[in-house]
Homo-oligomer: A and B are copies of this chain.
Amino acid sequence: MLTQDKQQRNWKPIVKQFEAVVGKNGVVQRREELITYECDGLTSYRERPAVVVLPRTTEQVAEVVKICDRHSIPFIARGSGTGLSGGALPVENCVLIVTSLMRQILKVDLENQQVIVQPGVINSWVTQTVSGAGFYYAPDPSSQIICSIGGNVAENSGGVHCLKYGVTTNHVLGLKLVLPDGSIVDVGGQIPEMPGYDLTGLFVGSEGTLGIATEITLRILKTAESICVLLADFTSIEAAGVSVSDIISAGIIPGGMEIMDNLSINAVEDVVATNCYPRDSGGILLVEIDGLAVEVAANKQRIAEICQKNGARNITIASDPEQRLRLWKGRKAAFAAAGHVSPDYYVQDGVIPRTQLPYVLEQIEALSQKSGYRIANVFHAGDGNLHPLILYDNSIPGELEKVEEVGGEILKLCVKVGGSISGEHGIGADKKCYMPEMFTATDLETMQWVRQVFNPKGLANPGKIFPTPRTCGEAANATGEIAKKFEGVEKF
Residues of A within 8 A of B (CB): 111-112, 134, 156, 158, 166-167, 169-170, 179, 181, 183-187, 189-199, 201-202, 204-206, 210, 222-225, 251, 291-295, 297-299, 351, 353-355, 383-384, 418-424, 426-427, 431, 435, 438-440, 442-444, 446-447, 449-454, 456-458, 465, 475, 477-478, 482-483, 485-490, 492
Contacts and interface: CB of A to CB of B under 8 A. Distances in A.
B435 A195 contact: yes
A191 B353 contact: yes
B450 A195 contact: no
Contacts of A197: 202, 205-206, 210, 447, 450-451
A199 B444 CA distance: 11
A154 B167 CA distance: 24
17 contacts: A184-B442, A187-B443, A194-B420, A195-B420, A195-B426, A196-B439, A196-B447, A198-B201, A198-B202, A198-B205, A199-B446, A201-B202, A202-B450, A222-B251, A291-B295, A453-B489, A486-B486
Contacts of A134: 251
Contacts of A292: 294-295, 298-299
A443 B490 CA distance: 20
Contact of A199 (B420, B440, B450): B450
A382 to B, nearest CB: 12
Contacts of A179: 446
A194 B195 CA distance: 23
Contacts of A489: 452-453, 456, 486, 489-490
A353 B486 contact: no
A293 B301 CA distance: 14
Contacts of A482: 492
Contacts of A490: 483, 486-487, 489-490
Contacts of A297: 294
Contacts of A384: 191
Contact of A198 (B169, B442, B485): B169
A252 B198 CA distance: 28
Q: Which 4 A-B pairs give the minimum distances between C-beta atoms? A: A478-B492, A201-B201, A222-B251, A295-B295
A79 to B, nearest CB: 19
Contacts of A185: 440, 442-443, 446
A195 B422 contact: yes
A227 B293 CA distance: 18
Given A189-B438, A292-B294, A489-B489, 18 more contacts: A112-B355, A167-B192, A185-B440, A186-B440, A191-B351, A191-B418, A196-B439, A199-B202, A199-B450, A202-B450, A225-B251, A292-B295, A292-B298, A449-B453, A453-B453, A453-B489, A456-B486, A490-B490
A319 to B, nearest CB: 17
A93 to B, nearest CB: 20
Nearest to A210: B197
Nearest to A415: B189
A452 to B, nearest CB: 6
Contacts of A446: 179, 185, 187, 199
A10 B439 CA distance: 40
Contact of A427 (B167, B195, B205, B419): B195
A406 B169 CA distance: 36
B492 A193 contact: no
Contacts of A181: 485
A358 to B, nearest CB: 13
A482 to B, nearest CB: 7
Contact of A488 (B225, B427, B431, B456): B456
A207 B321 CA distance: 47
